[in-house]
Structure 1
Amino acid sequence: MALTIESYDTPDALTEAFASTLTSILKTGIQTRGRASLVVSGGRTPLALFKLLSNAELDWSKVDVTLADERWVNEDDDASNTQLVKQNLLQNKAAAAHFVELKTDHADANEGINEAESNIASMAQPFDALILGMGEDGHTASLFPCSEQVQDGLDMNSGRTCIAVTPTTAPHQRISMTLPTLLNSRNIFLHLTGERKKEVLTEALDNSTEAQKPITAVINRAPVTLMWAP
């Protein structure tokens, strides 16, 4: 396990430092490989980061952006992570970035898996940067401990890029990157704010199995940088 902790006094200080770090990573990807790839997560925590990053000085036309997971809802639904990313990150200078869809037009996420996997396959990989969040149940992306699909999502030998997930403790069917897909990243960040989330993470790493707290499956297998502020 290799968890590096970067703590900041305020969420604003965290946001500024994180945006600078991501900008540098994406610039390096473009300079080194011609394109860069960024995988983000939804929720309230990254909103300020997205807004600041949207004005970063880099060639956004050479950046592919996608989501680690998505609720299986239409983009006009307020629960849509796609809507959140388009309204907060893919603005200003970052409007030139190429967004790679996880959500398809299929009625059921299981029916959209192949198309979503094909979309992701078009991106530069390993991903240059992956930003994960974590729920208070220890889930990350949409790898929920309450779901019947959690073991399939954590299977390192499944050969699948994505999985359809139906959580029992949260609304909406989901599509999520699998653990091996998440780990296929040059830089993995866990973005948390608040004392409670830090406590949950500590408890998960000390006392839980990977299926009980899926965030531990990432940290157990790859270097992860925790970006945290109170």
Structure 2
Amino acid sequence: MAAARRQFASRKDLFQTLRETVLDRLRHRLDADGRASLVCAGGSTPRMLYPKLSDAKIDWANVWVTVSDERLVPAHHDASNEKMVRLRLLQDRASEAQFVPLISTERHPRDAEQAVEAGLATMPQPFAVTLLGMGTDGHTASLFPGDPDLKRGLDPETEHNVKAVILKTPPADAPFPRITMTARALLNSDLVIVLIVGEDKRAVIDRAIAGEAVDEMPIRAILHQNRANVEVFWAP
């Protein structure tokens, strides 16, 4: 199924609609199952959404929250997605939510995979909403082009929900080993939302939609599939 594209005149309009969309999906799962899960993206754009959710009147005590990927740094480190989510989302009413980290006490990222898998298994699934960003290189979560182990993260038949990421040339602004959810895990969701802003990102998403090679642009594994509903939210 093709990803739906939702374009907004302003970022204010985008975030208002995005807030209501996320809350509607959480409420639907809470009404149906009594529990719901939310997968949060890191990055500068998604982080603007989270304070807008934290005061929502929903049953946060029965909502589980995790992140799509994590840098293997202490939870108090400024590069930690967990720290960002705790500070931006898990406040006010949302402080009652259950947070499931994507890090463990293992020293090597590959040794951490099993522990992180066990943590994710405690979350209600399918997820109500998975939020993703996208880089100008077409990466999403920590599924990067050029990762020598990328195939394992994109394999739709894999049994794994997470994988270690050790890049030969990591991003200069975050040169850390990582843990990422696999494409299969990210797509185990009622709705996947790819959140992007600006003309540069619109050009990248246009190119991603037009092509097929997932190793060149891993976001294509999210956009071109038949497992989950995907919506691309964009504003200038």
Instruction: Provide the TM-score with structure 1 as the length reference.
Output: 0.97
Contact 1:139 1:213 in 2 (8 A): yes
Paired letter, 1:164: A
Q: How does 1:1-230 map to 2 (within 5 A)?
A: 1-167=1-167, 168-170=169-171, 171-221=175-225, 222-230=228-236
Q: Which moved more, 1:6-15 or 1:128-137?
A: 6-15
Rounded Cα–Cα distance in structure 2 between residues aligned with 1:8 and 1:142: 27
Cα offset, 1:11, TM superposition: 1.0
Contact 1:38 1:128 in 2 (8 A): yes
Cα offset, 1:155, TM superposition: 1.1
Rounded Cα–Cα distance in structure 1 between residues aligned with 2:201 and 2:55: 28
**1:38-73 deviation digits (Å, cap 9, x = unpaired):** 001101101221010111110100100001110111
Rounded Cα–Cα distance in structure 1 between residues aligned with 2:224 and 2:212: 12
Contact 2:150 2:215 in 1 (8 A): yes
Rounded Cα–Cα distance in structure 1 between residues aligned with 2:161 and 2:207: 29
Rounded Cα–Cα distance in structure 2 between residues aligned with 1:103 and 1:12: 33
Rounded Cα–Cα distance in structure 1 between residues aligned with 2:36 and 2:69: 19
Q: Structure 2, unaligned stretches of length 5 or more?
A: none
Contact 1:19 1:53 in 2 (8 A): yes
User: What secondary structure, in the 3-state scheme, does the structure 1 residue paired with 2:43 have?
Assistant: coil
**1:15-36 deviation digits (Å, cap 9, x = unpaired):** 1111111111111111100100
Rounded Cα–Cα distance in structure 2 between residues aligned with 1:192 and 1:186: 20
Instruction: Provide the TM-score with structure 2 as the length reference.
Output: 0.95
**1:59-96 deviation digits (Å, cap 9, x = unpaired):** 10010000111011111211100000000010111101
Rounded Cα–Cα distance in structure 1 between residues aligned with 2:119 and 2:10: 37
Rounded Cα–Cα distance in structure 2 between residues aligned with 1:223 and 1:58: 23
Rounded Cα–Cα distance in structure 2 between residues aligned with 1:25 and 1:206: 29
User: What secondary structure, in the 3-state scheme, does the structure 2 residue paired with 1:16 have?
Assistant: helix
Q: Runs in 1 of length 4+ with deviation above 6 angstroms?
A: none
User: What secondary structure, in the 3-state scheme, does the structure 1 residue paired with 2:16 have?
Assistant: helix
Count of matched residue pairs? 230
Identity of aligned residues (%): 38
Contact 2:170 2:176 in 1 (8 A): no
Rounded Cα–Cα distance in structure 2 between residues aligned with 1:62 and 1:101: 17
Q: Structure 1, unaligned stretches of length 5 or more?
A: none
Cα offset, 1:109, TM superposition: 1.3
Paired letter, 1:41: A
Cα offset, 1:208, TM superposition: 4.9
